[in-house]
Amino acid sequence: MLQTPTRFTLVAASSEGATTLNAFDGALLNAGCGNMNLIRVSSILPPGAEETAALAISPGSLLPTAYGQIASTTPGERIAAAVGIGFGAPGSFGLIMETAFSGSGQEAETRIRKMLEDGFLLRGLTLTRVLVKSAEHVVVSCGCAFAAVCLWG
């Protein structure tokens, strides 16, 4: 079993590539997590986890990550991915939401904020603070937008 993460980093980037997988790989590299082994997780930030601006882990490390990503081969299409973390009472867990779709980064961030409000309402908790990060990309031939909360430490 993996240890409970003590740090988190929000990342977001986009890329073009020869294939959708290459575009995704490029977006991961541009976001700073391309040389890690991402383990996709659901959406709870552990209590007490501290925000860190950049990842400081070795290449090849297992990296629990909540992320949204979208790839497209439609030239001219605007795609976006966003993640957000909602915080409530001090010492409580945080709630992570992610989205990806055809549209703008601003639209993605608006969606994330609404999703966090709804998630806190479902839990009967009070939302006190929100962190959001997004990436937007206009496809040239094959592009990807990616946003993530990386959980580590």
| Catalytic (active-site) positions | 37, 42-43, 98
Distance CA 151, CA 40 (A): 10
CA-CA distances (angstroms) from residue 47 to 9, 50, 100, 139? 15, 9, 26, 38
Going 124 to 126 to 131 to 135, the CA torsion angle's sign is positive
CA-CA distances (angstroms) from residue 105 to 3, 78, 83, 134? 33, 9, 11, 6
